[in-house]
Amino acid sequence: MHIALVGDSTLDNTAYTAGGPGVRAILDDLFGDGVTVSLEAVDGARMCDIPRQIDTLPADTSHIVLSVGGNDALLSVDVLSTSVSTVDEALDAVATVTDRFAEDYRRCLRSVLDLGLPTTVCTIYPGDFSDTGQQRIIEAALTHWNHAIVQAALDHGCGIIYLGRVCDDPSDYVQQIEPNERGGRNIARAIHSAVAAPEEFGVTIGPHGPSESTT
Residue 193's CB is within 10 A of a number of other CB atoms, namely 15
Percentage, residues of the chain above pLDDT 70? 89
In angstroms, the CA 154 to CA 36 distance is 27
CA distances from 78 to 75, 81, 94 (A): 7, 6, 10
SS (H, E, C) 129-164: CCCCCCHHHHHHHHHHHHHHHHHHHHHCCCEEECHH
What confidence tens digit (pLDDT) does each residue in 27-81 have? 999 999 999 999 999 999 999 999 999 999 999 999 999 999 999 988 877 666 6
Higher pLDDT, 93 or 44: 44
The model carries a pTM of 0.87
User: Would you list the domain boundaries of the chain?
Assistant: 2-201
In angstroms, the CA 143 to CA 121 distance is 16
Instruction: State the fold for domain 2-201.
Output: Rossmann fold (3.40.50)
In angstroms, the CA 114 to CA 197 distance is 23
In angstroms, the CA 53 to CA 67 distance is 12
